[in-house]
Amino acid sequence: GHDRKRQKMRKSFPNGAAVNGVNGVSKAQHLQEQRAQLPIAQGLEALVREIAAHDVTIILGETGSGKTTQIPQYLLECGAFPGVIAVTQPRRVAATSLAARVSQEQGRPLGTLVGYAVRFDERTGAETRVKYLTDGMLVREMMSDPMLERYGVIVVDEAHERTLRTDLVLASLKKILRARNGEESGKGKARAHNPLKVVVMSATLDAEKFSKFFDNAPVLYVKGRQHPVSIYHTSTSQVDYVDAALRTFFQIHVDQPPGDVLIFLPGQEDIESLESSIKSYANQLPSNSVGVTLCPLYASLPNAQQSRVFTPTPEGTRKCILATNIAETSITIPGVKYVIDTGKQKEKRHLARMTGSGFDTLLTTDITKSSAMQRAGRAGREGPGFCFRLYTEEAFDAMALSSEPEVRRSSLTSALLQLRCIGHDLETLDFMDNPDAEAVGAALRTLWILDALDETKRLTKLGRSIAAFPLEPQLAAILLASVEHHCTADVISILSLMSASAPLFPDSSAQRDAASEARTKFRHPSGDHWTMLNVFRAYDEVCGSESKGGRRDWCKRNFVNERALREAGDIRTQLRIVCDRANINKEISCGQDESPVLKSLVRGLLQHTALLQPDGTYKQAMGPSIIKIHPGSFLTEKRSPAIVYNELVYTTHIYARGVSAVSKSFISDFPKRVTSGRAGS
Ligand code: ADP
Ligand code: MG
Ligand 1: residue of 114, 332, 378, 382 to mutate (most ligand atoms within 8 A of CB) is 332
Question: Whole-angstrom Cα distance, residue 572 to residue 480?
Answer: 15
* Alpha carbon 108 to its chain's center: 27
Q: What is the mean pLDDT of each run of 10 residues along the chain (681 residues)?
A: 39 36 68 91 92 96 93 95 96 93 96 95 96 96 93 97 95 94 57 85 88 96 90 94 97 95 94 95 89 91 81 91 93 94 88 55 88 95 96 96 89 92 85 90 92 93 94 95 97 94 80 87 96 97 92 94 92 94 95 97 95 93 90 88 91 90 90 52 36
Nearest ligand 1 atom to alpha carbon 201: 2
381 lines ligand 1 (CB under 6 A): no
Expressed in angstroms and rounded, the spacing between residue 430 Cα and the centre of ligand 2 is 26
User: Taking the CB of residue 436, how many other CB atoms lie within 10 A of it?
Assistant: 15
Sheet of 229-232: strand order equals 229-232, 385-389, 336-341, 260-264, 317-323, 291-297
63 lines ligand 1 (CB under 6 A): yes
Helix (H) or strand (E) holding 88: strand 84-89
Question: Whole-angstrom Cα distance, residue 531 to residue 538?
Answer: 11
64 lines ligand 1 (CB under 6 A): yes
Identify the pLDDT of residue 132.
98
Expressed in angstroms and rounded, the spacing between residue 249 Cα and the centre of ligand 1 is 25
Helix (H) or strand (E) holding 66: none
Residues 168/435, Cβ–Cβ less than 8 Å: no
- Residue 517 is which amino acid? E
Identify the pLDDT of residue 668.
85
Ligand 1: residue of 20, 37, 69, 297 to mutate (most ligand atoms within 8 A of CB) is 69
Expressed in angstroms and rounded, the spacing between residue 650 Cα and the centre of ligand 2 is 35
ipTM above 0.90, yes or no: yes
Ligand nearest to the CA of 330: 2
- Smallest CA-to-CA distance from 312 within 328, 334, 327 is with 334
